[in-house]
Amino acid sequence: MLVLGAALVAAAPVEAASKCRPIEAARITQMWDHYRKQPTAAAMSISGDFQCLSIERTYQVVCRTRTTHYAHPSIVIRTVFQSGNGIQVRTEADTAADCGSFVRLMDEYNQLTKDTLGGL
């Protein structure tokens, strides 16, 4: 599993490319099922190429790609936690897709982090 912290945003594309090791698609499904069964898991209303869950107990958002996404099948787990006087977002991800598509997916998530947390 690839793990990226919010502090690694600038280096993330290189890190994602160097650590990309696709896994079996069935493993992505197993991970999704694990998170879906968590007691506080709730489906999020997201349109487009992602299916997402919010897990209140662990402060996580878990998304998997739909079949229409270029990096399908992939799963991304984002965990928000307090660190000192601020917050951090840890991103963990796995894919069964090719590494080029996976790096593009991670670029999207890194941009999302910059867009949403840049002013904090």
Cβ pair 95, 22 in contact under 8 A: yes
DSSP for residue 91: E
The predicted structure's pLDDT at residue 15: 61
- Average pLDDT of the chain to the nearest whole number: 84
The predicted structure's pLDDT at residue 10: 38
- 44's CB contacts (< 8 A; 6+ apart) are 52, 53, 54, 61
Please report, for the chain, the start and end positions of each structural domain, with discontinuous segments joined by +. Answer: 2-115
pLDDT in tens, 68-86: 999 999 999 999 988 888 8
CATH 2.60.40 fits 2-115, yes or no: no
